[in-house]
Structure 1
Amino acid sequence: MATPSTVPYGSTSALSITGGNGTGAVTYSAGTSTGCSITGSTLSVTDASGTCNISATRAADNNYNAATSAEVAVTLTTTDQAALTVVATPSTVPYGSTSALSITGGNGTGAVTYSAGTSTGCSITGSTLSVTDASGTCNISATRAADNNYNAATSAEIAVTLTTTDQAALTVVATPSTVSYGSTSALTINWRKRNWCCHIQRGNFHRLFYHRQHTLRH
């Protein structure tokens, strides 16, 4: 008899017998089981996806022959993981930068995935968080999948702080830089940021995307 007869991974079951006679020592066997082991009269789960069939033997004594019970099946089940926590390093992320995601807690060998849920300001690729809109929201969670012994677990969401970032250096240019009385000089500012650049000339704003020019007049 196994008490309890359903045993989650990480727990044990106490083995005992009913019936039989005499004073012979009682031993227990897990036979060819693939999911449990026995030490003394204690059964432990080694792999909740495996099998567990046990029997008991009372040894012979002066008056009785040895006797072995029929096998009984013990049900093995998975168990819940420890609490899972998602971590973003750093937890404050400027636009154009990234944050590395990791977990603490949890159990087992299940794959870990990350989600930005309904966030409007960040996205996740693998375990890397990127800022897509610093004015948006960013709430992330992690999930460790189930394995042979543990159920799947999902962390609570945490908020990641998104911030704006500094522009590239800005330079003003006067052409020509030496101006005679009665003459003029065209003022231009130039900067380059990511996949576009722009300049202002004679009050016109020009933004260039891959050699395509758009003009907004002030």
Structure 2
Amino acid sequence: MSTSDNFLVIEPSQELRFKGPFKDEVSSSSLTLTNTSDKKITFKIKTTAPKRYCVRPNQGIVEPGATVNIAVMLQPFDYDPAEKNKHKFMVQTMFLPEGEEVELETLWKTASPEQIMTSNKMRCVFELPADAQEDLVNRPEPKDMKMATEELRKLREDLSSARGENLQLREEGIRLRRQLSSAASAPGSAAADAAPADTTMYYVMAAVALVIGVIVGKLVM
């Protein structure tokens, strides 16, 4: 496959630049094709990311000595730094047969590899505004996001466990209070026995209150 550089001038020849933001707006760039030969040339624009771009016209004819302007529109998308400079464009060309009318679609479908000439590939460059670049720099990397999600999951598990312990301690305190109340009101219990029971109850409740305080402290943190 030969090159079209000798008779077709392409501007820009190396890069197509697109300015953001890209998320909600169409970003446009342009190509110009100038035929420096004395023959008619048909062209076709190709890209490595056809779903991302709208090219008008994407094929056509350049008369001898004439120039054709081509609009290249990048559709809105969520900018990914990993895609930077990966998209490329290429211009394919052929000389039109002299003295006969041809259908371009048919001509391109039936052309042999020896008839088709190609230009150098032009890479696409994405330019972000300063504020968008700052947001991109401060955005957590996927690895950091994964770590943050795992940490959040652990915190939720700790919170659920602390709530369970808190409920269990409350139930244990209620059970102890009921047991002590039943013992104090039992027939034949001596007044002298009430003092040790009350003292025991005091220590038990103090311990329960201390543990509950620790659990509540965990929940607050």
TM-score range, shorter chain: 0.3 to 0.5
Larger radius of gyration: 2
> TM-score, normalising length from structure 2?
0.36
Q: RCO higher in 1 or 2 (8 Å CA, sep ≥ 6)?
A: 2
Structure with the larger strand share? 1
> TM-score, normalising length from structure 1?
0.36
